[in-house]
């Protein structure tokens, strides 16, 4: 068992080193042909390494004898495939489009407390397209501005917000009501992307209730709502057909392109070429979250996203992308494919 575990660790380590090593070479050498061949090497060598180790774990004898003349045609065809696989990899990226800057929790570079009216007022002066913020529902159906599902109650530990009344929460914490936050956003002319947070105990009519409570205010500006929950999004859309709703994803499995939403907010690490191809054909905006590093921002833009949720809105707004210089970042996508 230990030996098998070590072989698996070795397989993943070798795969990662090959990909990162070739990405590093392409970062130093800006050459499209080398980058193209690097894709082929990755698509040929990494699966070969992984297949060899898996066969070894299964007890299947593997012996690549490069000196045996019978293997020469195999090696020749294999290296020819490197070039073919490089051209067919579909990892060439897209021409980056201007990024929609979405201010995460209303905060820019730690200049305020997230999900507060103070942060909204402070940073709305920069007139970024959207401020993204989080909303939780209490047990007695009040919507408050909060990111985490739990809140600390003295002598009670961390408890889920949707299991507590607003009065109980206000006894121990200062919280801001979403209705107040929304009124200020409308007064300032700052559109919001509102994340409706769900837990395993969320009420099945949460989306409908949210839309009914804030129907008028949500239509004063081009506000949008996104959530990991599909049901509340459909309820909101049914109550307010004009509002745009989006699906938030962390792990991208299944065909999410078939869902009836207006946009997608994808965890940036999980964005793959296959996923982008399946979604971009629908013409719906795709946003990445949460991108704070410059390399991550550039990679997301070259993958074809329309905008990014970030704590570094000023950095994203000033982002300059040179496709030739930054193409190496696309090779790192193979880490998702093979690890």
Running along the chain, 339 residues long, what does each successive block of 10 average in pLDDT? 84 92 93 84 84 83 65 68 61 78 97 97 97 97 95 90 94 95 98 95 94 98 97 97 95 80 94 83 89 94 94 95 87 84
Is 124 among the domain residues?
yes
Q: Which domain does 114 fall in, by range?
A: 100-320
Q: Answer yes or no: do 190 and 265 share one domain.
A: yes
Is 328 among the domain residues?
no
pLDDT for the residue 72: 66
Q: Answer yes or no: do 281 and 221 share one domain.
A: yes
Q: Answer yes or no: do 295 and 184 share one domain.
A: yes
Q: Answer yes or no: do 214 and 286 share one domain.
A: yes
Is 141 among the domain residues?
yes
pLDDT for the residue 266: 95
Is 304 among the domain residues?
yes
Which one of 59, 88, 117 terminates a domain? 88
Is 332 among the domain residues?
no
Q: Answer yes or no: do 195 and 49 share one domain.
A: no
Q: Answer yes or no: do 157 and 16 share one domain.
A: no
CATH number at residue 105: 3.20.20.190
Which one of 88, 117, 146 terminates a domain? 88
Q: Answer yes or no: do 168 and 272 share one domain.
A: yes
- pTM for this entry: 0.88
Phi-psi region of 77 (alpha: psi -120 to 50; beta: other; left: phi over 0): alpha
Is 95 among the domain residues?
no
Q: Answer yes or no: do 73 and 214 share one domain.
A: no
3-state SS, the chain, equals: CHHHHHHHHHHHHHHHHHHHHHHHHHHHCCCHHHHHHHHHHHHHHHHHHHHHHHHHHCCCCCCCCCCCHHHHHHHHHHHHHHHHHHHHCCCCCCCCCCCEEEEECCCCCCCCCCCCHHHHHHHHHHCCCEEEEEEEECCCCCEEECCCCEEEECCCEEEEHHHCCHHHHHHHCCCCEHHHHHHHHHHHCCCEEEEECCCCCCCCCHHHHHHHHHHHHHCCCCCEEEECCHHHHHHHHHHCCCCEEEEEECCCCCCHHHCCCCEEEEEHHHCCHHHHHHHHCCCCCEEEECCCCHHHHHHHHHHCCCEEEECCHHHHHCCCCCHHHHCHHHHCCHHHHHC
Q: Answer yes or no: do 116 and 83 share one domain.
A: no
Is 338 among the domain residues?
no
Give the span between the Cα atoms of 321 and 9, in whole angstroms. 35
Q: Answer yes or no: do 12 and 104 share one domain.
A: no
Which one of 88, 121, 152 terminates a domain? 88
pLDDT for the residue 79: 65
Q: What's the number of domains the chain is made of?
A: 2
């Amino acid at each position: 068992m230990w030996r098998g575990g070590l072989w698996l660790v070795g397989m993943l380590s070798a795969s990662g080193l090959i990909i990162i090593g070739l990405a590093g070479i392409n970062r130093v050498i800006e050459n499209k042909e080398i980058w193209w061949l690097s894709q082929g090497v990755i698509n040929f060598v990494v699966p070969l390494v992984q297949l060899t180790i898996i066969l070894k774990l299964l007890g299947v004898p593997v012996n690549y004898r490069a000196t045996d003349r019978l293997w020469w045609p195999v090696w020749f065809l294999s290296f020819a495939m490197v070039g073919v696989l490089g051209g067919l990899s579909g990892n060439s990226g897209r021409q980056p489009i201007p990024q929609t800057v979405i201010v995460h929790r209303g905060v820019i570079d730690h200049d305020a407390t997230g999900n507060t009216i103070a942060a909204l007022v402070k940073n709305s002066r920069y007139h970024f397209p959207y401020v993204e913020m989080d909303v939780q529902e209490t047990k007695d159906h009040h919507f408050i501005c909060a990111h985490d599902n739990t809140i600390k109650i003295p002598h009670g530990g961390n408890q889920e917000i949707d299991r507590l009344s607003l009065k109980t929460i206000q006894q121990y914490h200062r919280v801001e009501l979403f209705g107040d936050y929304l009124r200020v956003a409308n007064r300032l002319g700052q559109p919001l992307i509102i994340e409706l947070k769900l837990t395993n105990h969320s009420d099945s009519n949460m989306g409908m209730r949210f839309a009914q409570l804030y129907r008028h205010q949500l239509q004063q500006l081009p506000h949008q709502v996104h959530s990991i929950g599909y049901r509340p999004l459909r309820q909101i859309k049914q109550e307010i057909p004009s509002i745009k709703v989006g699906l938030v994803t962390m792990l991208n499995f299944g065909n999410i392109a078939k869902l009836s939403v207006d946009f997608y907010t994808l965890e940036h690490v999980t964005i793959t070429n296959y996923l982008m191809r399946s979604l971009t054909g629908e013409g719906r905006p795709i946003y990445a979250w949460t991108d704070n590093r410059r390399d991550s921002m550039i990679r997301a833009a070259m993958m074809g996203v329309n905008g990014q949720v970030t704590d570094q809105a000023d950095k994203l707004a000033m982002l300059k992308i040179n496709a030739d210089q930054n193409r190496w970042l696309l090779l790192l996508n193979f880490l998702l494919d093979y690890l």
